[in-house]
């Protein structure tokens, strides 16, 4: 990108919005400055501007994101072609296997769920639309990583900080490397209780007409009394058929 086309102010404003997360939900200008690599004065000015626009709120000391920020993500979901294209196909998967069907994309170390269709249960299971998770903690994330270029996988693994949420979470880089290699060989991945106890995921890659992997199609389900092998044989055909049908559409 040519330097003359770069608008530093826009980049810094977005950096400030991204500085907020679960562990930094409310921050002073000094805290924001540290996370966004800005001076305290600059951070305060950006925060006050974002407040005027409705993207942050404050009590005079601490700042936090306001609900208007959700419009940014909703704009993607409303305008991007992928979520609109896959939605009817997810409905077919859910009708066929009676489980929650999702489509996710890779965003650095996370997966983001951009389309979802749930079953008619009293309690919805699995990831919700727009949610993020560290890629190794979900079947969708693992299959997306598995089909990256080998050198990219190694770079990714070298920079990934292991997060353990359950006794089943893959807790070493070597484990992840083996899982990714197996997923690439098989063309699918099954995960049990990586992020949440009692939950299982099955995912396959979604390719475009050129053969490039652009997303993952997955099913999220409670484990119940069904074995991983039985669950795989029950849902994998629907996932693979859907991926094949979508290949010339995405």
Q: List, in sequence order, every residue forming a beta bridge with 157; answer none if it has no partner.
A: none
| C-beta of residue 246 within 8 angstroms of C-beta of residue 204 | no
Total residue count of the chain as it appears in this document: 250
Q: How far is CA 208 from the centre of its chain?
A: 19
The per-residue pLDDT of the chain, averaged, comes to: 91
**SS3 sequence, 2-32?**
CHHHCCHHHHHHHHHHHHCECCECCECHHHH
Interval 14-59: pLDDT, tens: 999 999 988 999 999 999 999 999 999 999 999 999 999 999 999 9
Q: Which of 42, 31, 48, 40 is nearest to 9 (CA)?
A: 42
Domains assigned to the chain: 3-71 (1.10.10.10), 80-246 (3.30.450.40)
Residue 223 confidence (pLDDT) above 90: yes
Interval 145-189: pLDDT, tens: 999 999 999 999 999 999 899 999 999 999 999 999 999 999 999
82-85: Cβ within 8 A, 24+ apart:
82/114, 82/115, 82/214, 82/215, 82/250, 83/114, 83/115, 85/246, 85/249, 85/250
Write down the pLDDT at residue 6: 82
250 vs 175: which has the higher pLDDT: 175
Write down the pLDDT at residue 123: 41
Write down the pLDDT at residue 122: 41
Query: 163: which DSSP letter?
Result: -
End-to-end Cα separation, the chain, in angstroms: 27
Residue 208 confidence (pLDDT) above 70: yes
Residue 220 confidence (pLDDT) above 80: yes
């Amino acid at each position: 990108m040519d330097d003359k086309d770069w608008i530093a102010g826009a980049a810094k404003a977005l950096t400030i919005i991204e500085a907020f997360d679960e562990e930094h939900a409310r921050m002073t200008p000094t805290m924001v400055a540290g996370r966004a690599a800005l001076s305290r004065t600059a951070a305060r000015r950006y925060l006050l501007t974002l407040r005027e626009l409705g993207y942050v709120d404050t009590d005079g000391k601490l700042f936090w994101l306001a609900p208007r920020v959700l419009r940014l993500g909703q704009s993607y979901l409303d305008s991007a072609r992928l979520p609109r294209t896959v939605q009817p196909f997810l409905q077919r998967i859910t009708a066929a296997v009676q489980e929650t069907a999702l489509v996710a994309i890779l965003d650095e170390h996370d997966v983001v769920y951009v389309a979802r269709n749930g079953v008619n249960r009293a309690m919805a299971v699995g990831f919700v639309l727009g949610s993020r998770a560290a890629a190794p903690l979900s079947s969708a994330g693992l299959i997306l990583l598995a089909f990256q270029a080998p050198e990219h996988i190694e770079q990714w693994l070298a920079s990934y900080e292991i997060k353990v949420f359950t006794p089943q979470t893959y807790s070493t880089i070597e484990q992840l490397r083996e899982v990714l290699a197996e997923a690439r060989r098989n063309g699918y991945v099954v995960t049990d209780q990586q992020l949440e106890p009692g939950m299982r995921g099955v995912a396959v890659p979604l390719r475009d007409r050129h053969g490039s992997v652009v997303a993952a199609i997955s099913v999220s389900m409670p484990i119940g009394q069904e074995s991983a092998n039985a669950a795989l044989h029950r849902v994998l055909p629907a996932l693979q058929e859907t991926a094949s049908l979508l290949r010339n559409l995405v």
